Structure 1
Amino acid sequence: MGIRAPLFGPRGEYDASDFRGLVADLRGQSAGVIRGTNPDALRVTAVSGSSARVAVAGGRAWVPLTRAGVRERAAYLVELPSPGVQFNVAPSSATTDRVDLVVIRAAEDTDTTPYAELPLANYVPGSMAPGWCVDVVKGVDGGPSPSVPWESYLILARVRVRRGATTVTAADIEDLRWSTPGQSDPTVLAPVRTAPGQTVGAAATGVAPGALVYSTDEDRMYVRGQSDARPLTYRPTVITYPTSKGATGWWSSGNPTGWDGRVMAWEGPAAPYDRLGMLTFQMRWQAPGGGREGWTSAWIFSAGSLQWETMRVYSNVGGVHTGTVMCTVPKDKPLSVVAHLYGQNGWCQFDEWQSAGQLLLVPAE
């Protein structure tokens, strides 16, 4: 026979510790400041124009639950309302510096009120209301960075209080929110799916860095960076441009822009990230006779910007321009890499029959 039981355990009820464990099973066991779309969440900064005073910005965090030095799977979710808190740090001695740590620490919540706020206006480090607080671990004058004497904490910053100083500057504060061992960014990074026809850049707007974006049209996964979205796996693109013999051929130009002197082009759609192109080409040209002569070279453009010009050659016969060029393709701009034939006063002619090029295109790191 089967056994029926309530949804949560054998008792049909759960307390705060049970709920923290349940949440850990659902969201994972990572702990730290929740960055989300706010890079300044719980950031410690110096208060300018003040005494030795620092500010902690508003934000949220998962504080790991630790008992007897053992980190358990559950964590405390804490939130400091914006704009956060400010407080003074104790002055150092007149002869040596001191290093303090600004931390968040939590304890078993015994407050029975549904919600209580920290006293933001006149905050005193260490005020537990309810169950957690922003606190300062004061170091020893002339000593190293202190150890944290509590359990269940996150380190936000290291503050150097310089000897004899009456202020704290930005250079005195080291941000440790995401560089302390055991702390990470626990922002939930659920994949975002583009609508048909929607660009990856548009879908990635407003999502946290590190979030995944699936392109429906490309069947491809991207990751949101600090400034743009880039594919998880790179697919190098190779575009070959072989030319054929035209009826009259193209003439060079003394001002290679637009269609003037244009002889080969590699074109394609835009991408939501910067790209690098490695172009290898050969361009044959000839003198049409009639006493024509002058300087000639090959010009390579990308998105309308000149990337490279080959060494100029003076001739009245003809020759070949060859080269390998590294060019950049800016994000959100269509691929447009164009080779032009420069000729002084447009004196020489492009020979399509024996000219070609190959472009290798990869995302820029």
Structure 2
Amino acid sequence: YFPVRAGGDLAVMHGIAKALFALDDAAKADPSRERVLDVGFIETHTNGFEAFEQAVRAIAWTDIERESGLTRADIEGVAAVYAQAKASILIYGMGLTQHRYGVDNVRMICNLALMRGNVGRPGAGICPVRGHSNVQGQRTVGISEKPELVPLDRLDAQYGFSAPRTKGLDTVGTVEGVIDGSVHAFIGLGGNFVRAAPETERLEAHWKDLALTVQIATKLNRSHLVCGRTALLLPCLGRIEKDVQRSGEQCVTVEDSTTCIHASFGTSEPASDQLLSEPAIVAGIARAWKPDDTRVPWQAWVDDYGLVRDAIEATYPDQFRDFNARLHTPGGFPRPVGARERR
């Protein structure tokens, strides 16, 4: 265990890369030794490597030690272990992503994996640990504030409406909108937005100015205690609870950190027989808003979640081919990812 200085992650990873270059230099000088860098992989599957190498070699160890809070010997020891591993999975949590240099941190993790060819082969890869069970899966099925990432034309054709083409708000944009008054309502499907978002104190101060806040949740958290002028707290079934609808017991689907998609069944009895599922709540809001609009089969989707999966397959036929049929594959079925196949 190496206690990295807060904010020192980039320095540590640059130090590991610098040590890997030094180990590779030593291997090149001895023909009997195997190279540390995966030269063939780098030449075939990466770009910009020379500039990256030059930048890393130029960093002084004194700067790395000061910023990381670790000694050169510590970092070189980590690099030596990594260099000896035949395959490595690089796992990172939200501590690396939820701050100013989160994107740079993830890019550097990728660089370390690419240096050793730890992408697209058995036992190797990059694995993010998410803060919620399906943060990754929601993006896969088109939940995004960026319209260019969603097959809007296909959705228009499927459901007979024109989806908005204007860009929505991400987390930072939402926080800024609450603070400056341009956001008037908030509906949260799980999560602890007020506490998890940046600028928590400023956000809490302005949260009470929202006309409406709706929290759909499985358990209480701080965000439920900070309310808009009208506030609703809607408890729902948790993923560990049995979900029985008109067609029988239901399962939901999750995409794990290795981009494998699999079924998830609840095993516990619900905390109350009055709890609704998340799909039932969302569909209920939609039906109450447009009671005479039959273009989207909201009630049928609530009755049988398999129909939701059929709809996902129709929207993303390549990624979700035979969705319901493959759902119970042991370990899940992998979503097509170019990096896994070295494409």
Higher Cα radius of gyration: 1
TM-score, length of structure 2 as denominator length: 0.23
**Which structure has more strand as a fraction of its residues?**
1
Larger RCO, structure (CA 8 Å, separation 6 or more): 1
**Which structure has more helix as a fraction of its residues?**
2
